[in-house]
Structure 1
Amino acid sequence: MNWKTPAEALADHVTHRASRWAHPVATVPRHQFVPRWWDRGVDGWELHDGPTDPEAWQAAAYRDISLVTSVEGRHADRATTVDRPYGAPTSSATLPSLLVRMFQHAQIEDCDNVLDVGTGSGYGTALLARRLSPEQVTSVDVDAYLIKAARDRLASIGLEPALIEADATGPLPVEAGSIDRVVATVGVRPIPSAWLRALCLGGRLVTTLAGTSLIITAEKTADGGATGRVEWDRAGFMPTRHSSGGYSDDARALLNKAAVHDGDDVSRGPYPVVSVVDAWDLASMLELTVPGIAHEYREDGDQRTALMAHADGSWARATAIGSDRPTVHQGGPRRLWDALDECRTYWLNEGELPVRGARVFIRPDGATFLARGKWHVTLT
């Protein structure tokens, strides 16, 4: 495969020529890190095998898109063409422009030692090792297979950074104070205290909050904590896992219940039905207020239906024609749709949601606080 020309075109697309990230993107063969990938189909996820279709392989690998490499722990590398897994992605090769943006938020300097949280395909690790040196990069992932595969693929292009199997939310096998930058391509809540221990004084971390599109940047302070901000930029990553398997789907039965049952509380909502997951700022604000809600949105002609469910047994269903006021059914210990409407009311009253641009305060134990003006929230 003549990959150098499309790699250079990708670099031109996701960076500018003066960027220190242009050379890594142009010289790392992304296709070697994603020989097989999953694509969502009408009947589960469908497998794509690069070597059997080099033209499609090149086109996919050198587009600015994410390529899913694992679904619920089912690795594309180990799958057959008849496999059709269902569920959430558990690993991917992140779209290159997003990797570059996260690295830019980290403000990585030539002499920095970087902890790369979420090895995944290894492509992001390769960009770091090419931009710096392999000796300056340590990458961790909870999935032993991903670590092995990434190590082999990195070695094949002459890069041998330290790759370690580890739960990123637990103790990390790095020396305290030895890391200048932590860059996470997974979502967390709250910030793991191990990241703070790994950082040197003044060291910088960049991550997203799980279940949101919020990018957090913060610098370590003398007390062992960190201070920073919620960036105005947006990003979304898979939440951290504590094993190599998939995510639990405790809310599925409740979503099914929400679709058909009458609620303990039935009302008329003041605002139109909305697809929450597609409204990034609204979804982020709601996740901070009531973390862990699962969502589903359907359209049948002009009828819109939104479902919400939480592992504590709470659920909601809102239905309406077009932008009419919805009929809302709610059940369980909390009123989920009411919590959503409170976020929307705040937005209308204040003109914006307060979370973007908020200050971030992280204690040494990882407890994380966000505040902007009179608004504040503690992440648990």
Structure 2
Amino acid sequence: MKWLPRARLLAHQVVRPESRWHTAVSQTPRHVFVPRWWENQGDGTWALRTGDEDEEAWLSAAYSDRSLTTQVGTHHADRANDGDVLDGGVPTSSSTLPSLLVRMYRHAMIADDHQLLVTTGTGYGTALACARLGAENVTSIDIDEHLVTSACDRLGLIGERPNLQVCDITGPLPGRYDRIVSTVSVRPIPVSWLQALRPGGRLVTTIAGTGLILTADKQADGSAVGQIEWDRAGFMRTRHGDDYEHQDEDTWKGASDGEGEHTFTSRYPLLYPEDAWDVMSMLELQLPGLIYRQDQDGESRTVWLLHPDGSWARATAGGFLDSPVVHESGPQRLWSQMDRIRNRLNRSGALPVYGAKVSIDPDGSATLSRGSWSQRL
């Protein structure tokens, strides 16, 4: 299989030649870590793709700069039957796009002798870290035993044997590290990270539900200080079992067709928050745990916001520039809160999240601040 020229081309696309990560990307066989994956069909279904059935499609997917979904709900592609199609479901594991992995590692400012803790997933990110640092300096953890076992086997096929362990990254960690790089998102920052980092050590992660990359350096008193980077990334949330908890169906039933307790016409065009990461990030910081849905029926579009406390909002607009009619219910007014964020954006021309300073207490509670704005996680 002629994968090496493709890996070299991928490296050229995602990292500069003088970077020490260029060699890692150009010499790591990504296809080994993603022999099977789920492909979103655009209609709510997921079709299984296998490398064995189409080698050209396999190499094309593996050496493209995109994420490949390997698990939907509890259904891992490794354990699926050829021809399987899933009717709906939320991705719970994937092989992250290579350029984002490199960016996360670069934010960590890793030196040659650093001990590094990473999250496992398919094992591809772990393989890149091993190629850069040597397997003896890399620990890789995941809560899913199947993922750890599969990654261990596939890393062994390419001659890499880092320390792999089944472990919840939000709990006690199996060592002491100079760098922690998490490609799952968290909120709050786990106390165990600060305990496991050596003084001067750095953590790199994303805040759950946002597009915010947080970097912070451990201080002598056990706290950490850092910033929200001028960069964007979104990762799956940490999970504590085989699947995520699902939104209460009673909340969704009310949101789908209920009148709600508050109805108004928004002054702004209809927005799907995931299309505007700065707005989404501000909204998530204030209302953690939001879930978004959208639908289109001809020219009419509808967006839903759902919150774990039972609050919901539904906004429908007849055309692209039409102001949507909004229905809200529950203890919090979700769409009204988003409109207030958009008011701020219109007044100031920007939102304060990117570039914000970060202060993390030893107990893991963090405060983001920029100018007069602050938000505690």
TM-score, normalising length: structure 1: 0.96
Deviations 1:75-129 (A, max 9, x none): 100001343332111111111000000000000111111010x200000000000
User: 1:111 pairs with 110, 113, 116, which one?
Assistant: 113
* One-letter amino acid matched to 1:30: R
* One-letter amino acid matched to 2:17: R
Task: For residue 90 of structure 1, give the secondary structure of its aligned residue in structure 2.
Answer: strand
Describe how 1:321-336 pairs up with structure 2 within 5 A. 321-322=318-319, 323-336=321-334
For 1:38, the equivalent position in structure 2 comes to: 38
For 2:207, the equivalent position in structure 1 comes to: 209
Shift of 1:330: 0.8
For 2:131, the equivalent position in structure 1 comes to: 130
Q: Which runs of 5+ in 2 are unaligned?
A: none
For 1:80, the equivalent position in structure 2 comes to: 81
Deviations 1:158-178 (A, max 9, x none): 10000010010011121xxx3
Q: Which runs of 5+ in 1 are unaligned?
A: none
Tell me the distance in 1 between the aligned counterparts of 2:334 and 2:47.
Answer: 34
1:298 aligns with 2:298: no
Deviations 1:180-239 (A, max 9, x none): 111010000011111111111111111000001100010001110100000010001000
For 1:48, the equivalent position in structure 2 comes to: 49
For 2:267, the equivalent position in structure 1 comes to: 270
Tell me the distance in 2 between the aligned counterparts of 1:48 and 1:111.
Answer: 39
What is the RMSD of the two structures over their aligned residues, measured on CA atoms?
A: 1.1
Tell me the distance in 2 between the aligned counterparts of 1:269 and 1:154.
Answer: 52
Tell me the distance in 2 between the aligned counterparts of 1:256 and 1:236.
Answer: 28
Task: For residue 235 of structure 2, give the secondary structure of its aligned residue in structure 1.
Answer: coil
For 1:226, the equivalent position in structure 2 comes to: 224
Identity %: 52
Tell me the distance in 1 between the aligned counterparts of 2:249 and 2:279.
Answer: 22
Task: For residue 89 of structure 2, give the secondary structure of its aligned residue in structure 1.
Answer: coil
Describe how 1:1-380 pairs up with structure 2 within 5 A. 1-41=1-41, 42=43, 44-85=45-86, 86-116=88-118, 118-174=119-175, 178-243=176-241, 245-322=242-319, 323-379=321-377
Tell me the distance in 1 between the aligned counterparts of 2:44 and 2:315.
Answer: 27
Shift of 1:325: 2.2
Shift of 1:304: 2.2
* One-letter amino acid matched to 1:35: P
Tell me the distance in 2 between the aligned counterparts of 1:228 and 1:149.
Answer: 35
Task: For residue 151 of structure 2, give the secondary structure of its aligned residue in structure 1.
Answer: helix
Tell me the distance in 1 between the aligned counterparts of 2:69 and 2:322.
Answer: 37
Using the TM superposition, name which of 83-92 and 68-77 deviates more: 83-92
Task: For residue 150 of structure 2, give the secondary structure of its aligned residue in structure 1.
Answer: helix
Asked whether the 8 Å contact 1:255–1:308 carries over to 2, the reply is no
Tell me the distance in 1 between the aligned counterparts of 2:26 and 2:257.
Answer: 52
* One-letter amino acid matched to 1:21: W
Change (3 A) 1:339 1:230: same
Tell me the distance in 1 between the aligned counterparts of 2:248 and 2:357.
Answer: 32
Change (3 A) 1:14 1:230: same
Shift of 1:251: 4.4
Task: For residue 181 of structure 1, give the secondary structure of its aligned residue in structure 2.
Answer: strand
Deviant stretches of 4+, over 3 Å? none
Deviations 1:38-63 (A, max 9, x none): 00123521101102211111111111
Task: For residue 309 of structure 2, give the secondary structure of its aligned residue in structure 1.
Answer: coil
Tell me the distance in 2 between the aligned counterparts of 1:294 and 1:252.
Answer: 13
Asked whether the 8 Å contact 1:292–1:311 carries over to 2, the reply is yes
Change (3 A) 1:43 1:224: closer
Shift of 1:263: 1.3
Tell me the distance in 2 between the aligned counterparts of 1:333 and 1:220.
Answer: 38
Tell me the number of residue pairs that the alignment of Structure 1 and Structure 2 aligns: 374
Using the TM superposition, name which of 226-235 and 274-283 deviates more: 274-283
Shift of 1:259: 2.2
Tell me the distance in 2 between the aligned counterparts of 1:28 and 1:276.
Answer: 36
TM-score, normalising length: structure 2: 0.97
Task: For residue 308 of structure 1, give the secondary structure of its aligned residue in structure 2.
Answer: strand
